[in-house]
Homo-oligomer: A and B are copies of this chain.
Amino acid sequence: MDWKRLFTSVEAVRLTAWRREFHRHPELCWQEAWTTARIVEVLEEAGIPILCGPQVIDRRAMRGYSPQQAREASARAAGWGASPAILARMEGVTGAVAVLDTGRPGPTVALRFDVDALPLQELQSPSHRPFAQGFCSQNPGVMHACGHDGHIAIGLGVALAAWAQLDQFAGRIKLLFQPGEEGVRGGLAMAESGVVDDVDLFFSGHLGMGNPSGQLTALYGGALASTKFDIAFTGTSVHAASAPQEGRNALLAACSAVLGMHTLCQDAQGETRLNVGTLHGGTGRNIIPDRVVLEVESRGATDQVEQRLFQAALQVCQGAARMYGCQASHLLQGYAPCGRCDEELLDPILQAAKRVPAWSRVVPRGRMDASEDVYCLINRVRQHGGKGAYLGLGADLAGRHHSAGFDFDEGALLAGAQLYLSLLGQFLGC
């Protein structure tokens, strides 16, 4: 393995250019039409075989998908210059997987990059580099405020470098460009497509996450399992003054349920979280509300704890509906299991990191305070006998994750790409 050649085949300047291009074009879950099409375009221009849309996403597992929004996203992508041919192949479904097959026997290593953005209006201020240097979001109200634009850039860089050096590898490389990580929707849908069922080793990582530039967290664990769901309460509306006794007040049911669900977070077997993030209901001041919709998420330190909480929350809603003669129904909107990485991968990761000078400090294990649907993929890999790990790729940040002024040290892009290449070399080098 010629490590030097491998590492220098990635050009920092291209990584930065890609990152900024994607930063300008942020798209939300299931609406990453331009994003997917652009990824496919870059890789296919290089000759890399790539699957996309329904080939890598199981439609039945797409929570929160709106055909109408997908059509609008596709139209917008076309307006931004996406290839009509690629858009047509996608059939309204986002996400792509590049497959670099060496033709030589060997294991299959998958790397996963999440590609979606957040519903946030980007900061318009000279202190904010994307604004100062002119690569701010051009999609109002949407922003890459978590660093997924960087993940895409790293993925493209790794793809082109590995493709260029493919003769140094045996086995197969799969590069997953996953939609809808925010809201934990895309991981399950990609896993259910079967695209990682043949994977022996799986890696993914996240920029920042509390790691400064140069610091790598080798294994993340302890992420909270999470279910995202909506609850709709329906009752009977009636004029509030002339016949209140004929109404069935869906808002009273919803308010009882909100309070009730928030009482459920005591579990001696592991920590739990529940949040009713939004509530919208009612049609007019003098009308008894007949429809109220809540966006809710439950989380738990183990899958069992989370499912117990989720089921208890549903029970609370059923009971609250009954109190006021209403009905409650729920709609699943996302899911991520509780995370765990394979301890056997710690040593290889440490070795891989050593080869990349940018990684001056390695923390063996870290704890996630959030939920991540990468664990849908890691779990699937494991169920088929493979191993997986989730990494923290240090990057100094400007602003917190998910804030309007978020930005990161672009030097981390090269460090990240080289780390992935080092891992590929370690497991597939010939």
Contacts and interface: CB of A to CB of B under 8 A. Distances in A.
Interface of A: 119, 183, 224, 226, 228, 239-245, 249, 251-252, 254-260, 262-263, 265-269, 271-289, 292, 295-297, 299, 305, 308, 312, 315-316, 318-325, 333, 369-371, 402
Nearest to A276: B251
Q: Tell me the dominant secondary structure on chain A's binding face.
A: mixed
Contact of A258 (B239, B251, B295, B371): B251
A241 B324 contact: no
Given A265-B265, A320-B323, A323-B260, A295 B278 contact: no
Nearest to A320: B323
A259 B265 CA distance: 13
A279 B277 contact: no
Given A183-B285, A319-B322, A322-B322, A275 B370 contact: no
Contacts of A371: 241
A297 B269 CA distance: 20
Contacts of A333: 285
26 contacts: A239-B370, A241-B273, A241-B369, A241-B370, A243-B268, A244-B267, A245-B268, A252-B258, A254-B279, A255-B279, A256-B256, A256-B260, A259-B260, A262-B262, A262-B263, A266-B273, A275-B285, A277-B285, A278-B289, A279-B280, A279-B282, A279-B292, A316-B323, A318-B323, A319-B320, A320-B323
